[in-house]
Chains A and B, each alone.
Chain A
């Protein structure tokens, strides 16, 4: 069936380290967004990135739609980056307009 898979499921970093989070999807997508859920549960939109590369400060994201994956890069990580990172995709088939989330990558950044 249609799936969104994120890796790694868990990640522990020392402050200042860099990391790459991956989102694979099983079918063609119209749209893709990355979110950060902080330790208090608030979900914040990071990027709207159906294709190409975008950067916002220490964060950047790349989506290669033809190869069905997206990457989120975190550079010089800080303790405030801790939380769960989700990708959400809107699959192209059937005109569904349904945002489907992956299971997330849980990130802990130690001082």
Chain B
């Protein structure tokens, strides 16, 4: 299996622009997660889907962030409008059993 696939790998955008991050989970995994990693806060869970249904979005920082999972093989995380403090690495992960597997991450810089 190719693992969790994320795109884009790197994104530099101007403040106020819309950012869309994409994720293809590992086939057969029922759970999908979006994490954000910064030096200050470490890895934070933003939102968790199970069988394409959002289960817990309490980690989404504010209304500027939204996530969707229209089918079992695709999810998006959108930031609109983006702000410099959104600069971070955004990881998508999928899970089965007691293990979750991370994608390579999307490195976002908002200037």
Q: Do A and B come from one complex?
A: no
